[in-house]
Amino acid sequence: MTTTTTTERLRFTRRVTEMEISPTLAVMNRAHELVARGHDVVDLGPGEPDFATPAFVAEAGKRAIDNGQTKYTNPLGTKPLREAIAARYNRRFGTNVLCEHIIAGTGGKQELFNIVLALRSSRRPIPRTTSGRPLPRSSRWRASGRAA
C-alpha cells in the first residue's frame, strides 16, 4: 500500500462552507448541554417522544432483525409498509390512495428536502413551511431555490 502525504489544504465548495446547523438540531444540542449541567429540561427540538419505545414496537424491531431484515430498503419505503399506510389512510379518510403515492422515509424534513430537489430548480421560489419542522435555509439553498 502506498501512502501519499500532501501539505495542500482541502478546499470545500461554497455549498459546504456556508451550510448552517439545522435549527432543530441546535435546540436539541443546547438542551443536551443543559441536561449535562444538571438542569431539568423539556426538549421540544427534534420532536422525539420523551418515553421509552413501546414494547410492541421494540418486539417488531427484534423480529425484523431475527428475520434478516437488516439491509438497505427502497428509498420510498418497503412495499408492505407503503401498502399498510395507504390502507390505513383509505380507511380513515375514505380515499383511494395507492401505495405508489406513498413515501415512507426516514423523516419529514428529509422527505421535504427530496421533494424540493425534485420539483424546484434555478432559484425558483420554494414555499416556506408553516409546520414546526421548517426546511432549513441551507437546505433551500442547496436545492438552488430561494424562499417564497
* C-alpha cell recorded at residue 26: 441546535
Q: What pLDDT is recorded for position 136? A: 56
Q: What pLDDT is recorded for position 80? A: 93
Q: What pLDDT is recorded for position 93? A: 97
Across the chain, which has 148 residues, the per-10-residue mean pLDDT values are: 70 80 85 94 77 93 95 90 96 96 82 75 61 54 54
What are the sequence ranges of the domains in the chain? Answer: 19-71
* C-alpha cell recorded at residue 55: 414494547
- φ, ψ of residue 126 in degrees (nearest 5): -115, 120
Q: What pLDDT is recorded for position 50? A: 72
